[in-house]
Amino acid sequence: YHITNAFYIRQDNNDRFDVPKLKYIKSAFEIPMEYLRHGDVYKLVIEYTDDNNINPICKYKSDLKFVAQLPSKHDNFLNFKRISIFVLFCLALILLCIVVKWSLFSSKALESIKKVLFSDYRRSPIIQNLKKSSFSLPNQEINTLYTPLEVLEDPYEFPRQNIEIKKVLGVGAFGEVYYAKAYNLNGISGFTMVAVKLLREGAPKEEQTDFLAEIKMFKNIGVHKNVVKFLGCVTKSQPYMTIMELVANGALKEYLLKLREIWIKNKDRRLFFPDDMDEKLLKMSDPKESDYIMRFDADVQTPLLSDIGSRPEPVLDHRELENFALQIATGMAYLEKIPVVHRDLAARNILITKEKILKISDFGMSRCGPYVNRHFKKVPLRWMAIEAIEQFKTDSKSDVWSFGVLLWEIGTLGAFPYENIPNDLILQALKSGARLSRPEICTDDLYTLMRRCWIENPKDRPTFADIVEDFNAKKHVYVDFNRVNPNYVFPPTDPK
């Protein structure tokens, strides 16, 4: 803050006295008033600007009334004695804090603590120092039209020294993801296990901007069971950090590949049906009530620390896969309302808890609302809609296209889309009408939904709300392992 003018007015005759020069003492200032008379009422006026305000013409003004009480020599001595005792007490308290903190934190953490102790950006220094004035203020009046606004503290900003990095969980586009301990997170005493995305050192300005944009978007998302939870961030100094809910039980892609291994083992052991089985027995029967889509309990909690690193038990059950599709659609329907465009929806970016609750993650490419990409970066080409590849335009309908590909990944137990088409021919193939073929375990109902997601005109595709309603309303089996011939070979999981 920068003071531009200061003066005081005697109330009985409106005489004005300018303050020629303020004396600054550390973070406070002294206002010399040479023309005070004991017992008279005065009004002090201070005009100033905010150096952090981007608008140079924005000025603030504060005024208050006071009764001048001129101290006697005895009062001066008592005041000096009181101030000396107070200063000595503060010095002793600060020294004690430094000794305690030194034993708990590194030297870099101490530097951050000093900044917090000796700089209070949340309140106007002018108001603070006026409150500390020794004047008697029986009729204090503040002009609310000129009272400076308090700077609100970001509730998501978290102290860097309260994070203890443990080990790497994975590598992302901006840097590495660690699992870590966060001390006193959201008022919870002790340590909370979290996932921390750390922007790599020396990241270019563009990556720093994208990283901060991702954090800003997370603050708009809120909380949903099927979306990984944003817990906090570190943005006051570099390297920047994003603090997320820890879901360390692997991704859906890994789970699907485990199911594929189980399928292969069961096929080799002839646990499905022998080659000489009567063909009539291979016909599908009408689905029973138990074959309908399995609903999930909304109150199941995120796994505890003891579950970190463990993997959910894979089960070859069509109801479970249908439930997975419903969970993902439900999470995306929530994002669709905000609106947030994910832009990288795929099985690799869906985390799974030990209780098999799916959580949409990896929002590094996400944006709020429709978005036109002007930067040429690596993109998930085989999961992208035609308009996203050709015109760089993305919205919730382009996420619907990606969801159709994700359904295909589930139906093929983790296969690689368009494995026979090179990258430079993907767009040409899609525009000519080529689409992924129906997986063997998918019924016609589910493949029809996939095809609706892949309609070329985005307006003709369903919304995620439509998809959730479709899953909830229809009494059909969408995935059925019983219809798969044991000699069937699932598409490859890696590009040729």
User: Which run of H or E residues covers position 102?
Assistant: helix 73-104
pLDDT at 50: 63
- Return the structure tokens found at 409: 């990944």
- Return the structure tokens found at 446: 């589910």
The arithmetic mean of pLDDT across residues 6-33, rounded, is 78
Distance (Å) of CA 35 to CA 9, 137, 213: 10, 18, 55
pLDDT at 299: 37
CATH classification for the domain delimited by 160-245, as one of 3.40.50.180, 3.40.50.10190, 3.30.200.20, 3.30.390.10 = 3.30.200.20
Based on the residue annotation, tell me whether 460 is a catalytic residue of this protein: no
Instruction: Identify which has the larger pLDDT, 302 or 179.
Output: 179
Contact criterion met (CB below 8 Å) for 249 and 208:
no
Does residue 294 surpass a pLDDT of 60? Answer: no
pLDDT at 73: 52
- Return the structure tokens found at 358: 């799916």
- Nearest-angstrom CA–CA distance, 63 and 367: 45
CA 437 to chain centre: 36
Does residue 283 surpass a pLDDT of 80? Answer: no
Q: What percentage of the chain reaches a pLDDT higher than 90?
A: 32
Instruction: Identify which has the larger pLDDT, 307 or 433.
Output: 433
pLDDT tens string 311-370: 778 888 888 999 999 999 999 999 999 889 988 999 999 999 999 999 998 877 666 655
Distance (Å) of CA 276 to CA 169, 188, 281: 48, 63, 11
Is 197 assigned a ligand-binding role in the annotation? yes
Does residue 57 surpass a pLDDT of 70? Answer: no
pLDDT at 76: 58
- Nearest-angstrom CA–CA distance, 496 and 479: 27
User: Which run of H or E residues covers position 179?
Assistant: strand 175-183
- Nearest-angstrom CA–CA distance, 240 and 199: 6
Average pLDDT, the chain: 76
pLDDT at 72: 58
pLDDT at 234: 93
pLDDT tens string 241-271: 999 999 988 899 999 999 999 888 876 554 4
- Nearest-angstrom CA–CA distance, 8 and 55: 28
Strand partners, 391: none
Identical fold between 160-245 and 252-483: no
Contacts of 103 (CB under 8 A, 6+ apart): none
For residue 137, give the amino acid letter. Answer: L
Strand partners, 25: 28
Least confident of 271-275, 278-282, 289-293: 289-293
Does residue 382 surpass a pLDDT of 90? Answer: yes
Q: How many CB atoms lie within 10 A of CB 120?
A: 12
pLDDT-derived band at 44 (thresholds 50, 70, 90) equals: confident
User: Which run of H or E residues covers position 245?
Assistant: strand 241-245
pLDDT tens string 173-231: 667 899 899 999 988 888 999 999 998 888 888 888 888 988 988 888 889 999 999 99
pLDDT at 165: 92
pLDDT at 303: 42
Distance (Å) of CA 214 to CA 28, 85, 220: 39, 50, 10
pLDDT-derived band at 79 (thresholds 50, 70, 90) equals: low
Instruction: Identify which has the larger pLDDT, 446 or 485.
Output: 446
Q: What percentage of the chain reaches a pLDDT higher than 70?
A: 70
The arithmetic mean of pLDDT across residues 275-297, rounded, is 35
- Would you give the DSSP letter of residue 479? B
Strand partners, 243: 196, 232
Does residue 39 surpass a pLDDT of 90? Answer: no
pLDDT at 367: 66
Q: Where are the domains of the chain?
A: 2-131, 160-245, 252-483
CATH classification for the domain delimited by 252-483, as one of 2.60.40.10, 1.10.510.10, 3.40.50.300, 3.40.50.10090 = 1.10.510.10
Q: Annotated catalytic residue: which of 344, 362, 395, 399?
A: 344
pLDDT at 200: 83
Q: In what order do the strands lie in the sheet with 2-10?
A: 16-18, 2-10, 41-49, 59-67
